Amino acid sequence: MLSILSIVLPIFALTLVGWLARRVGIFSPQSTTELNRFVVYLALPALLFDIVAKANLAQLWQPGFVAVFAVSTFLFFVLTVAVSRIMGRPIGNAAILGLNASYSNTAFLGFPLLLAALGPASQPLTLIATINTVCVLFALAIVLIEFGNQKGGNPAVIALRVGQALFRNPLVLAPLAGAAVMASGIGVAAPLDAFLKLLGSAASPCALVCLGMFLAEPRDKGEASTGETVMLVVLKLFVYPALTLALALWVIPLPAALRHGAVLLAALPTGTGPFMLAEFHRREGALTAKVILASTVLSVGTVTVLLSLLG
């Protein structure tokens, strides 16, 4: 319990700092948007490039684990998007809701939590989950959002515009460039590595401060439904890890260590990535902020119970 609290409490502290700073007037109403743009265009791309460029293919060769985590993640994302569409949400908004339910905070909570729970052998598993979530799932959501931004017209023209928008998006370009560096084997030069570490390390704290600033903004009470927040939190913390466990037990059986790692990563709260995307595209930002906070608070209890059950 204490190890989980030591990981989660700094997250709340950074969010609280952002909330207080905005409430007392240190930052203007435009600051939230500008800080979020810094994360989206500079800090997060640096982090994504760094993660992918330094990935070790030999360590990442865990086909069973990759299959279980990828299938559960993308199946859950697609199902959530489909239900959201049936409920009348535009495709871009539905993509954000899909991220709310399937985007685990693997990058910032996964590494320290699994290291404490499962030891150093878990780190490649967390890296696989991070690449799957932060790069691939994120890119899929961006595709849907960009598709939603193109209204009417010839399908071929829409596809071309979506492709152009994607290849101008730093959150897509950065992991692709990192993959090219990883495949080439040339590595990352020391000065560039230091630059990436400095810039990439700003992604998490700035995103959390930005989240607090966003929550401090006055808005209509009905802007983010409590019922929708509860539903998405339940999906993220309970249904998604249950689906992952079912796949790891009966569909693609995994050894205990890999199964435990997959379920723990699926059970993590919603990360800040969906909020950055939601705020940047002005889609479901208030709802996403509430889901991140609620799932992070509740995960202290749910992850503790899960660790006890897994032994």
Domains and CATH numbers, the chain: 2-310 (1.20.1530.20)
| CA max distance for the chain | 56
Answer yes or no: is pLDDT of 154 > 70.
Answer: no
In the prediction, which pLDDT does 249 show? 96
In the prediction, which pLDDT does 74 show? 96
State the chain's mean pLDDT as an integer: 86
Answer yes or no: is pLDDT of 221 > 60.
Answer: no
For tokens 């150093």, what's the residue?
120
In the prediction, which pLDDT does 176 show? 87
For residues 200 and 241, what is the distance between their CA atoms, to the nearest angstrom?
Answer: 28
Structure confidence at residue 12 as a pLDDT band (50, 70, 90): confident
In the prediction, which pLDDT does 226 show? 85
pTM of the model: 0.82
In the prediction, which pLDDT does 153 show? 58
* C-alpha torsion angle, residues 100, 101, 102, 108 (rounded to 10): 50
- Residue closest to 289 by CA, chosen among 236, 210, 222, 221: 210
